Structure 1
Amino acid sequence: MEMPRWSPSALGAPSPGVIRGRAERQPRGAGEDGRRSPCSASKPAPGATPARNPPAHRHEPHCRRPRSLPPPRIAITPPRWPTSCTTLDGNPKRVAMGAGSWELPDDTLTPLASSPTLTSVQRVTSLSPQTPVVSVVIPTRGRAAKLAGALRALSETDPQAPPFEVVVALDGEDAEAEEVARRGWSFPVQCVAQRQQGAAAARNLGAGAASGSVVLFLNDDTRVHGGCLLAHADFHARQAGVGVLGRTDWDPNGEITPYMRWLAPSGHQFNFSRLTPHAPVPWDATWATNLSVPRHWLSEEPFDMGFQGAGMEDTEWGYRLHRRGFSLVYAPEALCFHDHRYDGPRDYRWRARLAGQGARRAVRKHPELAFTLAAKPCLAFVARSFTLALPRRGYRQRLWDWDFRWHYVVGLLLGR
């Protein structure tokens, strides 16, 4: 049977399904317990000429070293691709996998990007027959089922898509998400972890562990369309040095409530109706739900780790990219589906407050944004309050808009 191109044997690794690690050297002729065998300690017969540099295993059969493999360096998930999952530890050269931990040589550890804001943690590179072109970074916390759906969708991507890897960035300890990452996916998967610091820090962590020239940010509750990765890669190949904002629609496999239709794709969460396909994107439309950028952008302009929640951290990052002259382009053909149900305003109020909190930090950091992120939303809230008294159609949508703006202003003023 012909060996698959991506198999460990084809990559020069041992065939039994493990990668050899550095075994502790034992004295020649030593047994499993490390003690020298009697035959290896015996002296040559009188009058015999000692052999120079005898072979390592030239012993009698009864004292031959057992043929046992040394401890594995990386555990390979049996089905298809090897995956690696690391956790925080004091020694950056030790890897925790399953029930054991093994020492790794320096060449298996890839340093993170040279940014002082990145959290320093260990990682192990999954084996790959070729360097990935796209590194998909998925920050997650406490949503292992959603993460499994996102990875399952990636396994069904267009076969013409370039080689890619997935970096799962855990924002805090999450044993269930680690188990999902260890499953036998049809692509290499890395799993890196940090103390709970928010989505911004998790994206920085994932980008630092990436090896592709393009970093694609997805959420753990988004499922890519089959041609999403191919569309991102094609756009970067045609226009080097730009970022690509893909389109995000509601998951058609789930129920789309009236409130969800109001939120997106032409509402407060995502407003793609104001974007022109294949045209530059304004900085306030930098949504990291389906966004790819050259990897070096993250080294030069990482996310601000001061944003603890998932609100406004990507918009503030987009503003800094805009100031440096980095441009984003809208590519609606790079489509993914958002799997998150909202029944009404009560389900989205916490997101509105997080957006207000993030705006408060962004204004303190960039005072020139005071009107755009603070004064203008407050004036819009006052205006919406007056329109509620008008007997017009669409009262429910106006009430939803008022509720969102109220909680945004509360988060902006109180910071919580």
Structure 2
Amino acid sequence: MPEPQEVPALTPSASVIVPSYRGEVRLPVLLGGLAQQDTTDFEVVVVIDGEVDASAAVLAGLGESTGLDLDVIVFPRNRGRVAALNAGHAAARGEVLIRCDDDLLPAPDFVSGHVARHAHHGPRGVVALANDVMPDSPYARAYGVRSMDHLIASAYAGDIEPWRLWSANCSLTRGTWEQVGEYSQEYAHYGMEDTDYGYRLHQAGIPLVIAPELQVAHLGAPTSTHDRVMRAFHSGASRRTFEARHGSALSLPSAGTGPWGRLVDGLSRAGDESRYERATRAVDRLLPYVPRYVAEKLVALCVESASLAGYRHAQDVTASF
């Protein structure tokens, strides 16, 4: 009697790759959205970047309850988002590889929409935006909502090169991934590893297209001056790494001219990471008591100077993801 032959697993059309750190609260929301997709021809690969919470246990229950084709990779210790992204892409079986951060809320046509953007086309990268959803607060009213609206409007108007927008909601085909290679492991600080990858796609001659219909809600946006400024500071430090790898692809950071530029420049020279930690917490306490115009200027001053300060103090910045 012949031995039974193992039936090979079918290759899904797409893989949704989810890097996650401390995601036990966010992951059920994301997987709930993925369970409502208008297609089932996809898998979900979640990479848990360090056993620091109950994410693995949460996913064990969600795999059954959602009916998703779910693959979970667990790093025993935190290795950073780059390592998580690379591990997820390496494990993925789909033809279209969709990056989806764990704090997004995808619409029902999220997966099919990304797949459709690659159908009947040559190699390309698909960039979709994530619109920050944040609770009402002095920070949101003064800066958070307006800055996000400005970014989205500028992106759709073509004022920002698409490679600079490669981020939490994007996709490429397996062939393009194999051609361009992994995310660079040289990035030790928050930010810029995505911009680096977008630029490498651009360098390789692979067109990047923006897909407005695939915009999603971003539930993990900064909700305070402190959080927004510390991200700017670390991203500024990462800009040094990008510069070392790609030269002047990005213009050198500058405070600009005039009184505002001199103020930004002066603060950036005086401010190190610990000073921004303290100063931004003080600003958050102050925001409810000043006019909105003043509040907006205070936050903008902190964000702009922090980005420049991070660039200037990169060697002193604590590695962080």
Tell me if both proteins adopt one fold, taking TM over 0.5 as the criterion: yes
Partner in structure 1 of residue 70 of structure 2: 189
- The CA deviation at 1:324 is 0.8
TM-score with structure 2 setting the length: 0.77
Write the deviation string for residues 197-253 of structure 1: whole angstroms up to 9, x where unpaired: 21112101100000001111111111101122121111111433111111312348x
Write the deviation string for residues 272-296 of structure 1: whole angstroms up to 9, x where unpaired: 2123489995322222x11011123
Partner in structure 1 of residue 145 of structure 2: 261
Structure 2 CA distance, aligned partners of 1:144 and 1:298? 29
Structure 1 CA distance, aligned partners of 2:70 and 2:89? 14
Structure 1 CA distance, aligned partners of 2:175 and 2:156? 26
Structure 1 CA distance, aligned partners of 2:312 and 2:256? 14
Q: Give the 3-state SS of the residue equivalent to 2:36 in structure 1.
A: coil
Structure 1 206/319 Cα, relative in aligned 2: closer, same or farther at 3 Å? same
Partner in structure 1 of residue 125 of structure 2: 243
- CA contact under 8 A between 1:223 and 1:337: conserved in structure 2? yes
Structure 1 CA distance, aligned partners of 2:215 and 2:235? 24
For structure 2, the residue ranges without an aligned partner over 5 or more in a row are 265-291
Structure 1 segment 142-291 matched on structure 2, within 5 A: 142-158=22-38, 161=39, 163-174=41-52, 176-183=54-61, 184=64, 185-194=66-75, 195-251=77-133, 255=136, 257-258=140-141, 259-266=143-150, 271-276=151-156, 281-287=161-167, 289-291=168-170
Identity of aligned residues (%): 24
- CA contact under 8 A between 2:123 and 2:176: conserved in structure 1? no
- The CA deviation at 1:380 is 7.0
Structure 1 CA distance, aligned partners of 2:171 and 2:99? 6
Structure 1 CA distance, aligned partners of 2:14 and 2:231? 30
> What amino acid is aligned across from residue 261 of structure 1 in structure 2?
V
Q: Which has the higher contact order (CA 8 A, sep 6+)?
A: 2
- CA contact under 8 A between 2:35 and 2:67: conserved in structure 1? yes
Structure 1 CA distance, aligned partners of 2:263 and 2:306? 17
Larger radius of gyration, structure 1 or 2?
1
Structure 2 CA distance, aligned partners of 1:398 and 1:278? 26
For structure 1, the residue ranges without an aligned partner over 5 or more in a row are 1-11, 14-106, 109-126, 388-392
- The CA deviation at 1:361 is 0.8
- CA contact under 8 A between 1:301 and 1:321: conserved in structure 2? no
> What amino acid is aligned across from residue 242 of structure 1 in structure 2?
R
Structure 1 236/325 Cα, relative in aligned 2: closer, same or farther at 3 Å? same
Structure 1 segment 242-391 matched on structure 2, within 5 A: 242-251=124-133, 255=136, 257-258=140-141, 259-266=143-150, 271-276=151-156, 281-287=161-167, 289-299=168-178, 300-340=180-220, 342-369=222-249, 372=251, 374-376=252-254, 378-379=255-256, 383-385=260-262
Partner in structure 1 of residue 311 of structure 2: 412
Q: Give the 3-state SS of the residue equivalent to 1:405 in structure 2.
A: helix
1:131 aligns with 2:8: no
Partner in structure 1 of residue 297 of structure 2: 398
- CA contact under 8 A between 2:127 and 2:162: conserved in structure 1? no
Structure 1 193/236 Cα, relative in aligned 2: closer, same or farther at 3 Å? same
Structure 2 CA distance, aligned partners of 1:295 and 1:344? 38
TM-score with structure 1 setting the length: 0.60
- CA contact under 8 A between 1:162 and 1:230: conserved in structure 2? no
Q: Give the 3-state SS of the residue equivalent to 1:156 in structure 2.
A: coil
Structure 1 329/277 Cα, relative in aligned 2: closer, same or farther at 3 Å? farther
Structure 1 CA distance, aligned partners of 2:90 and 2:157? 30
Structure 2 CA distance, aligned partners of 1:149 and 1:225? 12
Aligned alpha-carbon RMSD (Å): 3.1
Q: Give the 3-state SS of the residue equivalent to 2:11 in structure 1.
A: coil
Q: Give the 3-state SS of the residue equivalent to 1:329 in structure 2.
A: strand
Write the deviation string for residues 124-171 of structure 1: whole angstroms up to 9, x where unpaired: xxx96x32111001101112111121111111122xx36011111122
The structure with the greater share of residues assigned to helix is 2
Structure 2 CA distance, aligned partners of 1:359 and 1:217? 22
- CA contact under 8 A between 2:154 and 2:160: conserved in structure 1? no
